[in-house]
């Protein structure tokens, strides 16, 4: 017999201190940002949320840093570093979109199961997987030959 896990759907369902923090931080988030600074603030809040709550997003960020760092260390051409950065950025972007889609689906279906919700979540996760595999291929093609040359030069 499976247990139904209850998650809060409104700030009134949360403990007082957490509800207060959430309502203060996001009470006006539904409004259009009145200036460019607020737009960046909200975008940064999404990135921070991804870093704080999404293990896979943190993994993608670390892999991006490693790939770009290795690119610089190996003195790759600027265009190759840019290709690695763009590919890595695409993976991280899709991971954040996946998180957004999952949040919207969870908000919509709450704790009930719906086949269309499963399809939406699975397809979003599949998009991230495809982009991660493409990034791995790009990174392998661009990084492995100079890395192998460097390693073999020490033997």
| Residue ranges making up the domain that contains 79 | 47-141
Answer whether residue 38 is part of any domain. no
17-26, 55-64, 85-94, 145-154: the lowest-pLDDT one: 17-26
Please give the tally of structural domains in the chain. Answer: 1
Active site residues: 95
Answer whether residue 15 is part of any domain. no
Answer whether residue 30 is part of any domain. no
pLDDT tens readout for residues 9-36:
444 544 455 455 445 555 655 678 788 9
Answer whether residue 111 is part of any domain. yes
Residue 101 is predicted with a pLDDT of 98
Residues contacting residue 134 through CB under 8 Å, at least 6 positions apart: 87
pLDDT tens readout for residues 99-151:
999 999 999 999 899 999 999 999 999 999 999 999 999 999 999 999 999 99
Answer whether residue 150 is part of any domain. no
Q: What are 61-68's contacts with CB under 8 Å, separation 24+? A: 61/92, 63/88, 63/135, 64/88, 64/89, 64/91, 64/92, 67/135, 67/139, 67/143
CA distance 75 to 89: 20
Residue 26 is predicted with a pLDDT of 57
Residue 4 is predicted with a pLDDT of 42
CA distance 110 to 135: 34
Q: Is pLDDT at 2 greater than 50 in this prediction?
A: no
Distances in Å between the alpha carbon of 43 and those of 7, 58, 82?
25, 17, 23
Distances in Å between the alpha carbon of 4 and those of 1, 7, 88?
10, 9, 37
CA distance 120 to 102: 8
Cβ atoms of 33 and 42 closer than 8 Å: yes
Q: Locate 57 and state its tokens.
A: 């997003």
- Here the CATH number for the domain that contains residue 83 is 1.10.287.3610
Residue 32 is predicted with a pLDDT of 80
Answer whether residue 55 is part of any domain. yes
Answer whether residue 96 is part of any domain. yes
């Amino acid at each position: 017999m499976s247990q139904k896990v209850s998650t809060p759907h409104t700030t009134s369902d949360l403990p007082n201190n957490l509800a207060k923090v959430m309502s203060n931080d996001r009470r006006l988030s539904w409004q259009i940002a009145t200036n460019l600074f607020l737009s960046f603030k909200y975008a940064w809040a999404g990135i921070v949320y991804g870093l704080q709550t999404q293990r896979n997003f943190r993994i993608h960020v670390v892999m991006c840093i490693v790939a770009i760092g290795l690119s610089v260390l190996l003195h790759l051409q600027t265009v190759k570093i840019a290709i690695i950065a763009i590919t890595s950025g695409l993976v991280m972007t899709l991971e954040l979109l996946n998180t957004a889609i999952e949040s919207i689906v969870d908000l919509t279906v709450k704790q009930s199961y719906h086949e269309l919700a499963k399809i939406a979540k699975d397809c979003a996760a599949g998009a991230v997987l495809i982009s991660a595999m493409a990034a791995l291929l790009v990174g392998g093609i661009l990084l492995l030959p100079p890395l192998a040359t460097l390693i073999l030069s020490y033997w």
